[in-house]
Amino acid sequence: MSTEYDSQDGGDVIQVPRMPFYHSWFINQFGHLRAVWRIGLLIIITFLLLMAFGWLAGLIPYPDEGDELITWQEFGRRGGSLIAMILAAYITLRWVDRRPITLLGLGFLEGWKRDFGLGLIIGITMISVALGCLWAGGWVSLSLNDITVSLVGALAKAMLVFFVAALMEELMLRGYIFQAFIEGSRVWIAVIVLSSIFSVMHIDNPDATVPSSLNIFLAGVLLSVCYLKTKSLWLPTGLHLGWNWMQASFWGMGVSGYHVKWSVFSAEAQGADWISGGEFGAEASIFGTVVILTTTLLIWKSGKFSVEKSLEAQWGAYPQGYGLKPQD
């Protein structure tokens, strides 16, 4: 469509393109596909790849390992999903957004090891402080298990499975969808919506309670803050991994309602669930609430976390809603 305008000197007629009224529903003022449609495309691509990788994973025979969480089957299932999600994000960034894959936040740029290591330490410290308070108050009893070669191997296997699970969930909830949501909306809206989804994902877990749902929502906010401070998924992934592995495989408590077969300690919750966390784990306790809120505030106010320089430069080329023409 176009509209004709006479030139000022009465000469040639200028053809000025006029877009249909619904054009703005799909394309923003910078000529880019709106965030909601890019998110929709990512979800479709991810779904198709998940079906393909799920079919392939189903062809692999897995042994019965007598564990409800730390199994090679769980590793294969989550690993396949992780690969599918990374591929879907790459396809979307490369051919829809026309932006570098490093903007996803999984690049091995300078400082990624530091962010991951700090996240791991923070997660381990958080859950240990919460459980230490529960133990000191008599709401949790601890007993040391036999330290054997089998236990050491199981701890390493658990670290691997929890890492894949943590990275998969961070990619799902703090990856492309979260980032595009911010571009098309507001940061606080994206944080609330994705943290709510994070909480809902765990609502059907064994022994879930209202406090557990609240704390997982707050944990989603914390993990979002970790991403926002660094524009990297390594800090939230490390924190997520440290929390889960320490709670389940070291202290022997439930992690989101699930229990592992092998752990350094065995923990038994005592008293009211809203204090001890019950069978769901310390992450459902009031001490978990305090620890999560305190850590969120400390990380948000801390000057120790920042965006890596080259990553910051890449993001600088794409302001809110891009603001620039697509770059090859």
- Digit-coded pLDDT (tens) for 45-78: 999 999 998 888 778 888 877 777 889 888 988 9
Residues whose CB is less than 8 angstroms from the CB of residue 32 and which lie 6 or more positions away in sequence, other chains included: 97, 321, 322, 326
Q: To which residue do tokens 């479709």 refer?
A: 44
- Judge whether 328 lies within some domain: no
Identify the pLDDT of residue 17. Answer: 61
**What's the whole-number mean pLDDT along residues 139-143?**
95
Q: How many CA atoms lie within 13 A of 305 on its CB side?
A: 27
Give yes or no for residue 225 having a pLDDT over 70: yes
pTM: 0.89
Q: How confident is the model at residue 120 (pLDDT cuts 50, 70, 90)?
A: very high
Q: How confident is the model at residue 216 (pLDDT cuts 50, 70, 90)?
A: very high
Q: CA 175 to CA 33: how far, in whole Å?
A: 18
- Judge whether 326 lies within some domain: no
CB-based contacts of 319-327 (< 8 A; 24+ apart in sequence): 320/183, 321/28, 321/29, 321/30, 321/32, 321/183, 321/184, 322/28, 322/30, 322/32, 322/183, 323/30, 324/30, 325/30, 325/31, 326/31, 326/32, 326/97, 326/98, 327/98, 327/99
- Judge whether 69 lies within some domain: yes
DSSP 282: G
- Judge whether 327 lies within some domain: no
Give yes or no for residue 105 having a pLDDT over 50: yes
Q: How confident is the model at residue 26 (pLDDT cuts 50, 70, 90)?
A: confident
Give yes or no for residue 11 having a pLDDT over 60: no
- Judge whether 325 lies within some domain: no
Domain of residue 42: give its range: 2-316
Number of domains observed in the structure of the chain: 1
